[in-house]
Amino acid sequence: MAERWVLHCDCNSFYASVELLSRPELRQKPVAVCGDPASRHGIILAKNEPAKAMGVKTAEAIWQAKRKCPGLVLLEPHRERYVHYYKVINEIYCRFTDRVEPFSIDESWLDVSGSWQLFAQSPKALADRLRAEVRGATGLTISVGASFNKVFAKLGSDYKKPDATTLITRENFQDVLWPLPARDMLFVGRSAAEKLAGMGISTIGDLAAADEKALAAALGKLGHTLSRYARGLDDAPVRLWGEKEPVKSVGSGRTFPRDLVTAAEVRSALWALSDEVAARLRRHGVWAGAVQLTVRDASLKTITRQTRLPMSTHLARDLADAAWRLMQANWREGQPVRMLTVTAQAITEEPAAVQQSFFEDAHRPDPRREKLEQSLDAIRGKYGKGAIGAGSILRRDLGLGRLSMEEKGGEDEDDERAKGPL
């Protein structure tokens, strides 16, 4: 059976590189794309290689970055430019295979198992050709990992940057990847990395050698997944271009221009976020069976709480009521709230069946409320997202009257799909 070949193509310093296309005089200077400090989105969203060499890190505060690099040039983000180049670059990928699966706006997997022979002498040669094609068409560079599965291909694209190709084979992956830190493995976040460190697991090789049951006991389902990934057992397919991944969660978050301290402010914010989430649920044609609330206070301490819903919904009122109940159970009025995120979970394509009581009326969605929110969808679809909304959320001092996930901000969240195991 022919060897499987998966490429992971990752644009180098994508946001900063796109901005520098129109500012070529800054190419050799340290540059970072950042949010608006006036609205407390004053963090680094992306940086170029010279800034990276000075120690500037993504997601750190602007003042921290400037302390490391006093000459750092700060640029405003332009989302429409990033979307344009996302489309152009993925159109190039689609010339070589129909299995092109974006992982984010600047990353895509390509399965070229059945097509590389048509375009190059080897999979590595095809990866090099893709790098040249993207550079020639856009002026941007990509790094490519080529391997026999998706996870190792991504580790390969991260292995050497910028503008490089790394081959990870069945023969060399233990030598190349196993010495890398465990935190480099896909889906190992800060919390998982801390738990692994507590188990004495510091490298991907340690992860591969660890007892899978012990990993599962510490990390749950993720433990099984990481064990397989480290041993090269990922067999997830690369989806066809345009094939949609099932929606796993729909969330909207906001870091506010000033801390929220009153119940009225918090309820307004939760309603605004729930309204956005509900509209997106309806747009996807899905229903939520649970709600998750994330709260970050002024000291940046973050808590996350979840609750099941009595019935599936895609209405803002149901989501907002559930989020407020969670807030009441975990927050005291007067405590400053910096950021809130409402996430719809337990997503289904149809309303989940509800056990009905013989003695009570079945709990059903309010048809009038459903009709009202669908009418809001229609108005926003015609006149824009900010055209209409509940009076309680039109709080300009909190930035709620213009709440839209089209906005840019390092700490805003907009995750229609929870990135989890492939």
Task: Give CA–CA dist 393/400, Å, rounded.
Answer: 6
What residues does 43 pair with on adjacent strands? 61
Token digits of residue 39: 């609205």
What backbone phi and psi angles, to 5 degrees, belong to 32? -135, 145
Q: Evaluate the CA torsion angle 158, 160, 163, 168 in order and state its sign.
A: negative
| Helix, strand, coil shares, percent, the chain, to 5 | 40, 20, 40
Active site residue 107: yes
For residue 162, whether the previous peptide bond is cis, meaning omega lies within 30 degrees of 0, is: yes
What backbone phi and psi angles, to 5 degrees, belong to 11? -70, 135
What's the gap between Cα 261 and its chain centre?
Answer: 29
> What number of H helices and E strands is found in the chain?
15, 12
- Asked if residues 410 and 43 have their Cβ atoms less than 8 Å apart, the reply is yes
Catalytic residue chosen out of the listed positions 60, 107, 133, 370: 107
Task: Give CA–CA dist 186/103, Å, rounded.
Answer: 12
- Asked if residues 265 and 331 have their Cβ atoms less than 8 Å apart, the reply is no
- Length of the chain in terms of residues written: 422
Would you name the residues annotated as active-site residues? 107
